[in-house]
Amino acid sequence: MTWALFPVSSWAQEGTQKWIFETGLGGTSSPVIGPDGTIYLGADDMNLYAIDSDGTKKWATFLTDYWAFFSSPAIGADGTVYVGGNTNLYAVKPDGTQKWIFQTEDDVYSSPAIGSDGTIYVGSNDKHLYAINPDGTQKWAFPTGDELRPSRVESSPAIGPDGTIYVGANDSYLYALNADGTQKWAFPTEGQPTVMGGWITSSPAVGLDGTIYVGALDKNFYAINPDGTQKWAFPTENGVGSSPAIGTDGTVYVGSLDGNLYAVSSDGTQKWAFETEGGIISSPAVGADGTIYVGSDDMNLYAVKPDGTRKWAFKTEAEVQSSPAIGPDGTIYVESLDGNIYAINGPSEGGVSAPWPMFRHDAMHTGRSGYWPTPDLWIAGIIHTDEKGPVQAIWKEGGRDDTGGHQVIWGHFYASPTDVTWGSEQNPDLFVKIWVDASGRVDVNFFHVSVPDIQVFSTYKGVSAETGTTTLDRRYIRQWYLEGQSYKEENTEDGIAVEGYSPAGNPSGYAIINQLKIGAVINTDDGPSEGFWRKGGEDTTDAGHEVVWGHFYADPEKFRWASEQNPDLFVKIWFDASGRVDVNFFHVSVPEIEVFSDLPTEGGYDQKGTTITDDRYVRHVYQR
């Protein structure tokens, strides 16, 4: 996830107080961070607070005469803040005025999740999980438990990349629901609900491979397969009410009431345990440098290194049961039961693009799998592998820039090396270019550069997500948004250069590896111009295949829209261990682009072609 950066003093020491904000009464509500850096959270003085990033109060809205806030806020794509209090779910506008109230029949401890279509999901102690439309009307209600023993829902729901909703209940079951509110499956924990043993108050997290992780008060931390079967159970010495976070390497972090923060490998084995002097209800958050932050009932917020050793501890005056949030500048925000909200200096970088790096997944607490290249735009991908079935794709941003009043963001999705042997951050499976036009149009362009089918998802400002599947034949999908509507187009591509075009250029080109040379000429309205090459990366797979990738871009000295961070032509080169060489060109711009390759390099070009907007993919094949 990426936000606009805010300045931070270069001399500020990590783990020291940046500012403190007094509410008078503390709480367990966890802070959420808006796109503009505003921090929102509920306090036990019954107010929802909005605080500027410098620690000054923007506003406080009195919402409830109840004695405590257990729910944590979530922020919708339009800036609406959703939070539970007494028996209600409140929707509050960014200026602090009330939008609507949705009433349940009992207390709301659960924190809301927000679907890609704007649907809000929240549990209630009236034994239901509710789906609520963005206008505050009920979509559906799912009853937990059974007629003889209905069960309250204190757990906060999580949403998988395919839209499945996962939520725990106090009947000792984790439920998986379809988007229409029907049940897919229910997973039983080992505890007995009549004695609180199996209650699930922990909120689930969803891994890249679809594994659902959740704690229970039966002292176990569970990993559950997407079909509802148990993958493993990790035992602790006390109940697990903390909600898990998942790091970039698949390590899962969770606290226990036994006072330990556990790091658990994806196979269920313990990597390490970090001991505090109090129980841990707080949920961990993972920073960009791999540091894990978590609160404890011993009154400290801890920073723990990736190897499980202590980095620093920040002392408050009471228990820290709130879950920390990490700002875009690395500042850590947390509430304590001493009645204060603390801003603590962290590293210069903020959160990390991990599968599930914090409580409720992201800084806006959407509780939804996927990635946010901008505060308004959500994207996700699922790779359908032969080895492991569907796995969640990992997003890697390559760069961004403003060109002529437009914004461009580019990057790629790749398979995790823990899922498949060929997975690597340096082996793109799906190139992505996002164009935010000055006119208000937003384009999300997906380019298939792998073998498996890849489902692609996006949504903008709560507009219903456009989905599609890229394949070896359907190499290009464009999803775009304009004036509150979504649109989609797809191209069937065979890799053969379109007929009727005769590349006339002879670019100087660039030597890659293994005696391969490539070049490009961008035919603009102002005439042809050689493309500049930017190498993205390279790698060698376990099977001995080599991959090199990057992009061509236009000369920034000649064209106002040109930038090294504005790809015009993505390139992925695959040197197969069998001797076959694939040079794949993907057109991501407006002008016609001539493409060239030579193997071995002999001064000219063996193969040429032209990419256009209607035929974006050209493939050159060689045999060494």
Residue 55 CA: distances (Å) to CA of 37, 52, 155, 172, 342:
11, 5, 30, 40, 9
pLDDT tens per residue across span 568-605:
999 999 999 999 999 999 999 888 999 999 999 888 89
The model's pTM is: 0.78
| Residue of 493, 515, 469 lying closest to 611 (CA atoms) | 493
Q: In what order do the strands lie in the sheet with 183-188?
A: 158-159, 165-168, 173-177, 183-188
Query: How much is the pLDDT for 134?
Result: 94
| Residue of 589, 526, 560, 535 lying closest to 402 (CA atoms) | 560
Task: Reduce the secondary structure of 138-169 to three states and give it as a string.
Answer: EEEEEECECCCCECCCCCCCEECCCCCEEEEC
d(CA 591, CA 609): 14
Whether the predicted pLDDT of 549 surpasses 90: yes
How big is the chain by its Cα radius of gyration, in Å? 25
Place of tokens 């034994």: 127
pLDDT band at 105 (very low <50, low <70, confident <90, very high): very high
Q: Which residues of 7-23 are buried (b: 16+ CB within 10 A; e: fewer)?
A: ebeeebebbeebbebeb
| Residue of 108, 62, 104 lying closest to 84 (CA atoms) | 108
d(CA 241, CA 251): 19
User: What value does the mean pLDDT take over residues 278-287?
Assistant: 95
The torsion angles phi and psi of 39, rounded to 5 degrees, stand at -100, 130
DSSP result, 518-537: EEEEEEETTEEEEPEEEEEE
For the beta carbon of residue 313, count every other beta carbon within 10 angstroms: 15
User: What value does the mean pLDDT take over residues 362-377?
Assistant: 85
Whether the predicted pLDDT of 297 surpasses 80: yes
- Is the sign of the CA dihedral 573, 576, 581, 585 positive or negative? negative
Q: How many Å separate Cα 550 from the centre of its chain?
A: 24
Whether the predicted pLDDT of 418 surpasses 80: no
| Residue of 375, 392, 479, 459 lying closest to 429 (CA atoms) | 392
Token pair of 258, please? 């036994």
Q: Which helix (H) or strand (E) holds 85?
A: strand 81-85
d(CA 81, CA 41): 10
pLDDT band at 194 (very low <50, low <70, confident <90, very high): low
Task: Report the relative pairing of strands 260-264 and 252-255 from DSSP bridges.
Answer: antiparallel
| Residue of 235, 84, 246 lying closest to 152 (CA atoms) | 84
Question: Which distant-in-sequence residues (6+ apart) come within 8 Å of 603 by Cβ?
Answer: none
Which is more confidently placed, 101 or 602?
101
What residues form DSSP beta bridges with 481?
442, 486
| Residue of 222, 304, 244 lying closest to 15 (CA atoms) | 304
Domain boundaries, the chain: 17-344, 371-491, 510-623
For the beta carbon of residue 177, count every other beta carbon within 10 angstroms: 23
- Cis amide bond preceding 528, omega within 30: no
Query: How much is the pLDDT for 4?
Result: 31
For the beta carbon of residue 92, count every other beta carbon within 10 angstroms: 23
| Contact between residue 166 and residue 110 where contact means Cβ atoms under 8 Å apart | no
Query: How much is the pLDDT for 353?
Result: 62
pLDDT tens per residue across span 435-449:
999 999 999 999 999
d(CA 327, CA 358): 12
Query: How much is the pLDDT for 5?
Result: 31
| Contact between residue 355 and residue 211 where contact means Cβ atoms under 8 Å apart | no
Give the N- to C-terminal CA distance of the chain in Å, as an integer. Answer: 41
pLDDT band at 1 (very low <50, low <70, confident <90, very high): very low
- Cis amide bond preceding 600, omega within 30: yes
For the CA atoms of 8, 326, 19, 4, what is the dihedral angle to 10 degrees?
40
DSSP result, 276-338: -SS---SPPEEBTTS-EEEE-TTSEEEEE-TTS-EEEEEE-SS---SPPEE-TTS-EEEE-TT
Query: How much is the pLDDT for 79?
Result: 87
pLDDT band at 452 (very low <50, low <70, confident <90, very high): confident
Residue 308 CA: distances (Å) to CA of 51, 222, 237, 312:
32, 21, 18, 12
Question: Which distant-in-sequence residues (6+ apart) come within 8 Å of 589 by Cβ?
Answer: 522, 554, 567, 568, 569
Query: How much is the pLDDT for 465?
Result: 64
Token pair of 250, please? 């698949």
Architecture of domain 17-344: 7 Propeller (2.130)
d(CA 191, CA 387): 34
Residue 209 CA: distances (Å) to CA of 212, 266, 268:
9, 10, 14
For the CA atoms of 248, 251, 252, 257, what is the dihedral angle to 10 degrees?
-130
At 508 the three-state DSSP class reads coil
Query: How much is the pLDDT for 299?
Result: 97
pLDDT band at 197 (very low <50, low <70, confident <90, very high): low
d(CA 313, CA 197): 31
Q: What is the DSSP letter of 193?
A: G
Residue 603 CA: distances (Å) to CA of 599, 606, 607, 624:
10, 10, 12, 18
Token pair of 200, please? 């699930």
Place of tokens 């806006």: 364
Query: How much is the pLDDT for 121?
Result: 98
For the beta carbon of residue 182, count every other beta carbon within 10 angstroms: 9
Token pair of 190, please? 């080992």
User: What value does the mean pLDDT take over residues 108-132?
Assistant: 93
d(CA 438, CA 403): 10
